[in-house]
Structure 1
Amino acid sequence: MRQRLLVPILLASAALCLPGLAACSDESSAPGQTSHAAETAGRSASADTGVEEEGNPSETASAKADEAVLKGKVIAIDPGHNGGNAQHPEEINRQVPDGRGGTKACNTTGTSTNSDYPEADFTWAVAQKLNTSLTDAGAEVVLSRKDNEGVGPCVDERGTFADDADLLVSIHANGSESSSVKGFHIIAADPGEDEKTEKASVDLAKSVGSSMGEEFTPNSAYGKDAISRRPDLAGLNNASVPAVIVECGEMRNPSEAKIMESKSGQRKYADALFDGIVDWF
């Protein structure tokens, strides 16, 4: 399916703090699923022989069900930060509307693992895998950025680029100072003027959190559901559709960093996000 890339020219955001945690979303500083790429194909090619094998009938049925749910849907995916942000501090520090009457910095560089694997690389890798699964299942995907070499876009545009989509998922990873902090959490906007959209965003957060919880550890600092409500994140505040930021895990936690740096781990994150999106619909 044709993919439509809406890539505003700009940049990326500022860091805010929750007590005891350092953030990694563009703006925030704070505390065995089946591969759907294989499912949607219905067949899998053997990695060793290159011979096509018939897909499991239950996987084929699941793929058809996913296609029935997603066909015609428009999904906005925002891979957090960008690979060129660090080289352009004057651009990413520029003030932009925060969606609640104030301003904040355009973006940040994001965090990294202790081996210097950048958050921007991780979010881009997961977004590409999720993009493939969604388009294979019949959805149209809109990406906030076209590659991992640019700057931005700014956090306000990371919300408004999704105006014509059915939902927005922004992919991130957290960077708490302590390496003992572990687990994912999901952020939805705190109540503002659009209560209907914000309720749908919380429902999306619950759906994604449920699917993430089947494979990964929820961060208990954010409660049983690992959901945080915040009024200060411009990407969420500027979104006109149900939107969540998913902090997939802690990049400075050695065990989670190992998963994030691996292609198999990135696939698991993408599959969990895919399942959460399908379940929400």
Structure 2
Amino acid sequence: MPYDHRKTVRRALALALAATGCCATLAGCGAPQASPQEGGKQPSPPSASAGRPTRPPAASTGAPSAEAGGTGGSTGSVDASGANPGSRSLAGRTVVIDPGHNPGNFRHSKEINQKVDIGTNRKECDTTGTSTNAGYTEASFTLDVSHRLRDLLTARGAKVVLTHDAERPWGPCIDERARIGNAAAADAVVSVHADGSAVGNRGFHVILPARVRGGSADTADIVGPSRELGEGIADHFARTTGTEPSNYLGSGTGLDVRDDLGGLNLSTVPKVFVECGNMRDPKDAQLLTSATWRQKAARGIADGIATYLEG
């Protein structure tokens, strides 16, 4: 039979079209797409995206999560936390999450500038926090990551308490934040932040309490366990997000010890601050404004907390 070139071409085209149509019908048949990045001073309200996983019941109530950024938003998936399906390894444990600053602080400078007792001296009640050059605020970032972290820990069985959920016009002050963790008899407290340093200063760091004693402050009992908590978070944060420890603090360890933070000085339970990156550096800002990266950050913190609590 003579060779029919046209028939061969038609068959090749049909096979190519069939393969394309098959891929188009399968969610995730290609590489996952990065979620849109955020900008502006306030994130847009979350939309009811089709297919978004349902959150598990949260241990705290308040304003809804700021999830502008689409895919990669806050999820209740246990698999996303890295735990085995059905795992309740943190049942009976209490974790307090402290979202740094408050979106309303910008409108209440008089209140947040009032000084409070931090044991060793007096310091401003709170600050507004920093922002990216495009105007994405630290307060919006910390609340979003805190919601994601809450969901991951709740999925593992932990009781989670937020120091605030933007349900109040400003604050709470740094001394009240410490008291919330103490009153909850928390097994661990994590204060979520992002830094505002010079361009070129990149990476995350975890702030640990120094040994402080003065007035109502005495950190002797929490210095050791807080370091253990912080080391676990630094390790998992680096592995999960793929980011490096700070190149400007901590000598490459990702750990920084401070004695001037009221939230640490006044704590009677293990507590650390996590500075997830530098909002003023364009490369770090690109990460911090990605909803997908923020989910990784929350998972890294959650894994670090779990490692500490599971011993």
Range class of TM-score, shorter chain: 0.7 to 0.9
**TM-score computed with the length of structure 2 as normaliser:** 0.70
Distance 2:307 2:75 in 1: 13
The one of 254, 257, 261 aligned to 2:282: 254
Higher RCO, 1 vs 2 (CA within 8 Å, ≥6 residues apart): 1
CA RMSD of aligned residues (A): 2.1
**TM-score computed with the length of structure 1 as normaliser:** 0.77
Superposition map of 1:81-230 within 5 A: 81-100=101-120, 102-147=121-166, 150-163=169-182, 164-176=185-197, 178-192=198-212, 193-214=218-239, 215-221=242-248, 222-230=250-258
Report deviation, 1:157: 1.0
Unpaired runs of at least 5, structure 2 = 1-56, 63-73, 213-217
Distance 1:73 1:40 in 2: 20
Unpaired runs of at least 5, structure 1 = 7-34, 43-58
Report deviation, 1:146: 2.3
Report deviation, 1:124: 0.3
User: Could you tell me which amino acid in structure 1 is paired with residue 126 of structure 2?
Assistant: N
Report deviation, 1:183: 0.3
User: Which secondary structure does the structure 2 equivalent of 1:162 belong to?
Assistant: helix
User: Could you tell me which amino acid in structure 2 is paired with residue 3 of structure 1?
Assistant: A
The one of 16, 24, 39 aligned to 2:78: 39
Structure with more of its chain in strand, by fraction? 1
Measured against aligned partners, the alpha-carbon deviations of 1:231-280 in whole angstroms (never above 9, x if no partner) come to 10000111110000000001011121111112111101101100110111
User: Could you tell me which amino acid in structure 1 is paired with residue 221 of structure 2?
Assistant: K
Distance 1:194 1:259 in 2: 34
Distance 1:149 1:160 in 2: 17
Tell me how many residue pairs correspond in the alignment. 232
User: Could you tell me which amino acid in structure 1 is paired with residue 277 of structure 2?
Assistant: G
Query: Identity of counterpart residues, as a percentage?
Result: 37
Report deviation, 1:158: 1.2
Distance 1:39 1:86 in 2: 36
Report deviation, 1:4: 4.0
Report deviation, 1:137: 1.2
Report deviation, 1:230: 0.7
Report deviation, 1:150: 2.4
Distance 1:191 1:140 in 2: 28
The one of 67, 74, 94 aligned to 2:94: 74
Q: Which 4+ runs in 1 deviate beyond 4 A?
A: none
Report deviation, 1:194: 3.6
Distance 2:159 2:266 in 1: 21
Which protein shows a greater Rg? 2
User: Which secondary structure does the structure 2 equivalent of 1:111 belong to?
Assistant: coil
Q: Is the 8 A contact 2:219 2:265 kept in 1?
A: no
